[in-house]
Structure 1
Amino acid sequence: MSERSRLDEIKDQLEKLDINPTFFARKEIRELPEILSAEEKIVYLVEGRNKITTHHIILVATDRRLIFVDKEFMYGLKVEDFSYSKISSIQYETGIMLASIDIQVSDNLVEIDGVGKYEAELFCEKVRDFMSRPEEYFPEISEPTVLDQLEQLGRLKENGVLSEQEFSEQKKVLLEKLNKDKI
């Protein structure tokens, strides 16, 4: 599937979920075809600001993981993804017009503010639903496989996000992990 048609498919998913990202989220949305694996589906998406950097970001809940995407012109692309089984808590706090979301993942706290109140509540509900599912009952929500990660790595190199050297180093690490898992 071409990158353009994958982007159209993602936009269709968002429309069906009644998610209408703002103009400010367009850079991050355009990166999603490179970040999501081929069969991965978006469950919900919110946009806001990273409390630390104040960059505009999106948080994407998929049927497999939670993804933090920050695409800045000067700073490049920052993507962090978290398995639902690694999330210990997610909470939101509402203000007069907007809300903030705090996600505790191991020793990492992800803090987003400037999120719509209704969207923050719905996003947290969706993530909590996936957090409560046992992985053995829902194997499709486990962490991406090494092959998924290799596929994503290839797309990132193809689109110039990774240099040849960065690609080779990451590929070597993933292949070593794959070989270790086979033993």
Structure 2
Amino acid sequence: MDFDFKTATPEQLRARYNDIATEMRETQFLSKKELDHVPHILQDGEQVLAFATGLMNNDTWLITLTDRRIIFLDKGMVYGLRQAVIDLDKVSSVSFTTRWLFGDIHIRDSSGTYQITNVWKKSIVPFTNRVQQAVDARKPANNP
């Protein structure tokens, strides 16, 4: 059964986000204001599969994986909301590098590469694996 992010109560959203955060080994500390905004930008029936937090262009961004796209959100303190989106059908590859405590995620599409730095090392493999699974699930089945 799909979860309805658009009509869920704040308590239901918090519980769902906690479940995802546990699975992804991700903290929600730096991304609360972005997570609060996610239901407002989801399409009807769209499901959040994973999220991670990191730096992109020296700002903290929430990277949200849904069953349809990857959404990059930065809800600043002073300015409004910045958003970038990659449809899963357009993702050509996802890769990562790790260091002592943090690492980087690289998501490529036909227009370039999104590099998210300073992602918690423990979150990188679960998140990138989930992205690859979601991308693979969107590919048409090979017909012999």
> Larger Rg: 1 or 2?
1
State the distance in 1 between where 2:135 and 2:6 align: 30
Deviations 1:2-57 (A, max 9, x none): 9784544332222222155333211111111211124222111100111x2x1111
Aligned partner (choices 10, 29, 37) of residue 35 of structure 2:
29
Q: Does 1:15 align with 2:18?
A: yes
Report how far residue 133 of structure 1 moved.
Answer: 2.3
Structure 1: segments with no counterpart, 5+ residues: 138-183
Counterpart amino acid of residue 16 in structure 2:
Q
Matched positions, count: 135
> Which residue identity does 1:62 align to in structure 2?
T
Contact 1:49–1:112, Cα closer than 8 Å, also in 2: yes
Q: What amino acid is the match of 2:15?
A: D
Q: How many angstroms apart in 1 are the aligned matches of 2:119 and 2:5?
A: 32
2:50 is aligned, of 44, 48, 55, to 44
Correspondence for 1:85 among 84, 89, 102: 89
Q: Distance in 2 between matches of 1:107 and 1:56?
A: 22
What residue identity is the alignment partner of 2:82? K
Please identify which structure carries the higher strand content.
2
Higher helix share: 1
In structure 2, C-alpha distance between the alignment counterparts of 1:73 and 1:125, rounded to whole Å: 31
Q: Percent of counterpart pairs with the same letter?
A: 23
2:49–2:67 CA contact under 8 A, matched in 1? yes
State the TM-score, normalized to the length of structure 2: 0.81
Runs of 4+ in 1 over 6 A off after TM superposition: 1-4
User: Which residue is 1:170 aligned to?
Assistant: none
Structure 1 residues 72-115: Cα deviation after superposition (integer angstroms, max 9, x where no partner): 12232011121111011111100011111011121231111111
1:124 equivalenced with 2:132 (yes/no): no
CA RMSD of aligned residues (A): 2.3
Structure 2 unaligned spans of 5+: none
TM-score (norm 1): 0.65
